[in-house]
Amino acid sequence: MDELCMCRLLVVKRTAWTENNAGQRFVSCVKGWNGCNYFRWTDPPVCARGRAVISGLLRRIERNEECCYIWFAEKD
């Protein structure tokens, strides 16, 4: 079922990647904070263990990306 925000626009589905809500999906106004600020979680909160695992993985990805960036920079 299509869900509309206060602007009468179709909401967008996103996934949160913040430390406290990693992996939890939500719907929000397509215009974000510039729109009507419509926001609703569509998933139940991620358990503490799940959050710890996801944020650990995110930190590893960030480190790897830094790594690759340096590697590419040195190639030039």
Q: Please report how close the Cβ of residue 17 comes to Zn ion at its closest, in angstroms.
A: 22
Phi-psi region of 26 (alpha: psi -120 to 50; beta: other; left: phi over 0): beta
The residue ranges that bind Zn ion (CB under 5 A) are 5, 7, 29, 35-36, 38
Q: CA–CA separation, 61 vs 74, rounded Å?
A: 20
Q: Please report how close the Cβ of residue 8 comes to Zn ion at its closest, in angstroms.
A: 8
**3-class DSSP state of 4:** strand
Looking at beta carbons only, is 33 or 71 nearer to Zn ion?
33
Q: Please report how close the Cβ of residue 64 comes to Zn ion at its closest, in angstroms.
A: 36
